[in-house]
Chain A
Amino acid sequence: MTTKPRVCVLRAPGTNCDRETAAAFELCGATAERLHLYRLLERPEQLLDYQILCFPGGFSYGDDLGAGVVFSASLKAHLGDAMARWLEADKLTLGICNGFQTLLKAGILPDGAGSWQHPRHEASATLTWNENGRYTARWVRLKVASDRNVFLRGLDEIELPIAHAEGRIVVKDNSLTSQWRKNGQVALTYVPADDDLDQSRQYRIPNPNGSTDGIAALGDSTGRVLGLMPHPERFLFGTQHPRWTRDQTGDQEGAGLKLFHNAVAYFG
């Protein structure tokens, strides 16, 4: 019998998706603990007791200095060694929405151990304000673009909701994205739904925030780190889908659950 993988759902002041994210992992058979950042800072080495580290969505520190900035600064200032060892080890790291913003701004993405506290690493990409200048909540259709990301195994397309103000990826140098593609780091891109191109102005528009190359999620080149703007933990049940009353899919499992299943199965 395999033991249940242990998940650390790391919450900071202002994190607000930790409960349902922990519930998603538990639904898939993991043991999830909502750990406060301050507890981890007291004893950073406890991080290695877990198999999966998840940065959930929310507004860490109010996003007052930009999304994920304060959370990531705290990680950089106090978790140097523990995080380096974590990223070297055979562990999985997931950042959802604010968690993705935190991963990118901390330098855990785009290159995992390669960009975490690398002396020469300088931010080459950021997540910043949506093109429309405001917070936007809607469902989007996504295409898996990476052949190696653990969380996305067995998935081709998926619908999930986004809910963010700062989800537009901007890169300093455009050659970066082709490098990402080559390394299997572009994980998800926004795509139009084929049955729905003429229907509406806004629903499932290809790129809801103006992100470079329509990128919605990034991974590292090992495939063990994933940061994504959409919220897979908001599609655990059929009744969460915006059209479940039309498609009569209320009894089905939500497609977002697959990401959590994949993570748990990795340690199975």
Chain B
Amino acid sequence: MLWEVEIRCLASEVDREGERVVHESAGLGVHGIHDVTSARLFLIEADWPLETVEEAARRLLVDPVTESCSIQRIDDKTERAAAPTTESRKIVLNVLLKPGVTDNVAQSAAQALADAGFDAKAVATGRRYWLPVDVSDDDIAKLTRRLLANDAIERVSSGQLSMSTLLMGETYLPKLVTVPLRNMSDDELMVLSKTGQLYLSLVEMQTIQKHFADMDRDPTDIELESIAQTWSEHCSHKTLKGRIRYRDENGEQVFENMLKETVFAATQTIRQQLGENDWCVSVFADNAGVVTFSDREHVCFKVETHNHPSAIEPYGGANTGLGGVIRDPLGTGLGARPVCNTDVFCFAPPTTQADDLPPGTLHPRVVMKGVVSGVRDYGNRMGIPTVNGAVFFDERYLGNPLVYCGTVAMLPVDRTEKQVHPGDLIVAVGGRTGRDGIHGATFSSAELTEESETISGGAVQIGNAVMEKMVHDVVLEARDRNLYHAITDCGAGGFSSAVGEMGEHSGAEVWLEKCPLKYQGLTYTEIWISEAQERMVLAVPPANWDAFRALCEAEGVEATAFGTFTGDGRLRLKYGDLLVGDIPMALLHDGRPPVIRDAVFQPAPAEAVKPPSKSHYDEDVRAILGSLNVCSKEWIIRQYDHEVQAGSVVKPLVGVASDGPSDAAVMRPDLTLQRGVVVSNGMNPRLGDLDPYWMAANAIDEAVRNAVAVGADPDRIAILDNFCWGNTERPETLGSLVRAALACRDVAIAYGTPFISGKDSLNNEFSFTDEASGERRTVAIPSSLLISAIGQIDDVRQAVTMDVKEAGHRLYLVGRTTGELGGSHWLMVNGLSGGDVPKVDVELAPKLFRALHTAIVKGTVRGCHDLSEGGLAVAAAEMAFAGGLGARLDLEPLSRTNPALPDAVLLFAESPTRFLVEVPAARSTDFEACFQGLPVTGVGVITPDQQLTILGRDGVPIVDSELSTLKAAWQKPLDWE
């Protein structure tokens, strides 16, 4: 029997889901929807009488204080109760998950029901909506597609539900499939590459063809898939680690391995310079970068992107993006304990008109809400605080939003080395394997189109954070008991990548029929490449297997031995007695032909800009404060738990009312120590349009200066790179990336700030057919380099926040202001473009960082804020309204050192490596003494009123605003309900 339990809130409660639909329908251009009712649905397949279903619902599914339910059978119309008459004049829509999509609530319900003595055969969940009967079919279609359901994972039906069973899966009779590769023409190879979702190039397909011709046989499907996964851009980063011929205005350079010769090389140089004081532990080798922290623990950091899945299903994409990056440090060394998360998003403006959306795209507001919810629900459930982040807006992210997620974790100093031993069992722990996430690795390496959702819907998954938390708990316990030799996460490519990587030097034999499945019917290849979430793979010596299994069982985590690491250097895949794959590991890891690319960069011709001169700039300050990149992100931040684990020291929002924008997060990963970690980021895609070299330099500077502003020791900051770029098969696109990488090398060395890990995501483009013109259009994202920094502070009690603290304290500007206005927010809000890109002074910057740090350690600094978008004026405004005190600045002293720069430039220039610092008058001599020979200027004083006043060089106020108006302008844009 199949029962439906429909749960609605009582009249005394607000139907939030119904209200959401009403509220957001107008934004989609569907008007006149004033009244929508919603219900939660549970479908329960069980041979129970009605009374038992009622009892089960009452005990577990319905909250009797706020909800009521009605129950009916939906597999047998004759037994069905009459439909409630009050509903007869409504349109009824049911939203159910597509078969095979992870349904956490249903799974929990089935387990909890069984625990309470109600054993059901299957449980599913859904939602039901009642809409006014006069809504047109067109509008229903629009609402269904954009608001009520997501086609990628859900299906919608109207009227009463009628189904016979929830059971899925079929018997699987294994049958060996070979691919007749040897006889294929080049055209046929490319058709196979595309239709088989391998996304390999012709040269790569030909290489595989030749390998098998040499072996005198055709590959099996699983062998071909294994190679495609390992060789995918996502897994091998073949473009940036490949051979690149790069040309720019300085001539030509040839790289054998571009990343190795730029980003990695910088780290090597720094480590050599540090000599025996080298504090890097593991760089670019393991799943996360590792540096020293205390006698007991090292700190690891990794940042990943999950862009393409988030474009199609924002909630699931962001959810599993965070879930995935948490598993990276958990699979670093012998397993690190995650202590905080960071997230950075890039979206199109949420104000985009619904009619302007290209086909196949979701509205940026929907994307943003989905992404934020996805990160929220995963991070909060894992009990890992989300402490730092940023959001950037640009129209070019419309079809291809970016979602960066990062995790910081602590690794015991004696658990850094992993080593697979031949004879170790290959053990999977955590979630079961299903058809979710098939071809994720190869899909993410392809361009998005309006068809992507149909073709690659299977690549989208829903995470189960509690499963991952359970895995986290047993892994760390097993680590401390020394129960395994090696561990890695199951990410892109699933078992194929995890086992392929772990067994690279030993070889492996895999027994695919042993893998626990969510439902029957998966082929051996699907089992092998499924990217089902929340799985880790471990190398467990047979002697420890019983203890390991018992530990997992004791916490309700499934552990399965599904193979063994051999010693023969081959990857042997079996399903029962059937040998389905047998290839040398060397073919996977060393067999790929090098990617050879051309890259060019042509500097855009300098475009002069004539900045406007005004008598008052109050409006400009408000406009910048109210621009999307600068404005308050409190709506997002408050949805994230940023204090779980009790390590919080400097929170994302600070100040007298806890609503000012913190520069970086400080937290204590070990509650017995006062030593802290500092997490910050830097990114400015706007500068990439001018010169990617200086964009990268500014991003590094910003990440470092944010960290230094809160008290991080500039000599102990490590950074990560995340390149998100367009299609690098175009030499110009690759050229801009190489140019950014060159800056990464130069600036990292100059700052003594090593890169310890990184990641790239290429092909971030969206193609579609323009409905009006019928032409094919492609939108590439702006070149987006995220620099994430992990700093350290000796004693967290030295940390500084950006809010001003006390009237009478002085304000100093640290750093040199230059006239480069290119990419600035001030030009943007004035509708101007052009100008020179701000350049980083790599000689001066490290000196300034060290001097400021000395001043902070000496206790002379009470408040400190870095200057970024909007320059001095915006930094002063933010510090003042965060502290609830006025400030009076005078540009005259500044104009003396910069006589050629107009007041407006002094106010709004975004020259890097600058800070606005609050110093008690009594400490000003001590403070100034830290900056011998360095640019530091007294620019003002904190006042007891509620006014920001800035005098121009001639002594006349050019900014004179009440703090409340400034704060309101800053808080308004994303103050969502």
Contacts and interface: CB of A to CB of B under 8 A. Distances in A.
B556 interface: yes
Interface string B418-439: 0000000000000000000000
A65 interface: yes
A119 interface: no
A257 to B, nearest CB: 11
Contact of B797 (A24, A70, A239): A239
A74 B111 CA distance: 11
Interface string B546-574: 00000000111000000000000000000
- Counting chain B CB atoms within 10 Å of each CB, the highest count among A13, A57, A201 belongs to A13
B800 A245 contact: yes
A54 B431 CA distance: 29
Nearest to B648: A240
Contacts of A139: 658
Interface in A175-228: 196, 199-203
A62 interface: yes
Given A16-B644, A137-B641, A163-B641, A250 B797 contact: yes
A134 B641 CA distance: 12
Given A36-B555, A70-B60, A59 B466 contact: yes
Contact of B639 (A65, A136, A242): A136
Interface in B183-199: none
A125 interface: yes
A261 interface: no
Contacts of A49: none
A266 interface: no
Interface string A65-89: 1100110011001000000000000
Contact of B61 (A19, A65, A233): A65
B250 to A, nearest CB: 46
A245 B801 contact: yes
A180 to B, nearest CB: 15
Contacts of A268: none
A144 B932 CA distance: 53
Interface string B613-646: 0000000000000000000001001111111111
A246 B796 contact: no
B383 interface: yes
B801 A171 contact: no
A61 interface: yes
A77 B115 contact: yes
Interface residues of B, number: 67
B24 to A, nearest CB: 13
A73 B116 contact: yes
A6 interface: no
B657 A64 contact: no
A138 B658 contact: yes
A235 to B, nearest CB: 9
B108 A64 contact: yes
Interface in B649-703: 649-651, 653-659, 668, 671
B469 A242 contact: no
Given A13-B469, A14-B469, A62-B381, A122 B64 contact: yes
Contacts of A62: 104-105, 108, 381, 464-466
Contact of B465 (A59, A123, A126): A59
Q: Would you call the interface of chain A mostly helix, strand, loop, or mixed? A: mixed
A18 to B, nearest CB: 9
B224 interface: no
Given A38-B556, A138-B638, A138-B658, A16 B381 contact: yes
B66 interface: yes
B68 to A, nearest CB: 13
Given A136-B639, A137-B643, A251-B797, A128 B65 contact: yes
A202 B659 contact: yes
B466 A243 contact: no
A203 B109 contact: no
Contacts of B884: 199
A14 B803 contact: no
A141 interface: no
Nearest to A251: B797
A234 B65 contact: no
A39 interface: yes
A134 B65 CA distance: 19
A242 B653 CA distance: 8
- Counting chain A CB atoms within 10 Å of each CB, the highest count among B16, B470, B649, B884 belongs to B649
B66 A13 contact: no
A126 B63 contact: yes
B63 A66 contact: yes
Contacts of A24: 646
B117 A77 contact: yes
A124 B742 CA distance: 66
Interface string A32-66: 00001011000000000000000001110111111
Interface string B105-138: 1011101100111000000000000000000000
Contacts of A137: 637-643
Given A39-B554, A65-B112, A170 B65 contact: yes
A120 interface: no
A245 B116 CA distance: 50
A61 B115 contact: no
A19 B605 CA distance: 58
Contacts of A242: 651, 653-654, 658
A17 interface: yes
A170 to B, nearest CB: 5
A10 to B, nearest CB: 14
A243 B656 contact: yes
A259 B134 CA distance: 58
B644 A163 contact: yes
Interface string B77-119: 0000000000000000000000000001101110110011100
A57 B644 CA distance: 9
A138 to B, nearest CB: 6
B380 interface: yes
B805 interface: yes
Interface in B463-502: 464-466, 469-470
- Counting chain B CB atoms within 10 Å of each CB, the highest count among A23, A39, A61, A124 belongs to A61
A258 interface: no
Given A14-B469, A231-B643, A245-B654, A65 B65 contact: no
A239 B654 CA distance: 13
Nearest to A161: B643
Interface in B933-977: 971, 977
B555 A234 contact: no
B411 interface: no
Contacts of A17: 383, 644-645
B797 to A, nearest CB: 4
B464 A128 contact: no
A172 B65 contact: yes
Contacts of B65: 123-126, 128, 170-172
A234 B381 contact: no
Contacts of A234: 643-644, 646, 648
The 4 closest A-B pairs by CB, nearest first: A16-B383, A200-B657, A64-B108, A20-B646
13 contacts: A59-B383, A59-B465, A64-B104, A69-B60, A70-B60, A73-B115, A137-B638, A161-B643, A163-B643, A234-B644, A236-B671, A239-B668, A246-B801
Given A14-B466, A14-B470, 12 more contacts: A13-B555, A14-B465, A16-B382, A36-B554, A58-B383, A74-B115, A128-B13, A163-B380, A163-B643, A203-B658, A239-B799, A243-B658
Interface of B: 13, 16, 59-61, 63-66, 104-105, 107-109, 111-112, 115-117, 376, 380-383, 464-466, 469-470, 554-556, 634, 637-646, 648-651, 653-659, 668, 671, 796-797, 799-801, 803, 805, 883-884, 971, 977
Interface of A: 13-14, 16-17, 19-20, 23-24, 36, 38-39, 57-59, 61-66, 69-70, 73-74, 77, 122-126, 128-129, 132-139, 161, 163, 170-172, 196, 199-203, 231, 233-234, 236-237, 239-240, 242-243, 245-246, 250-251
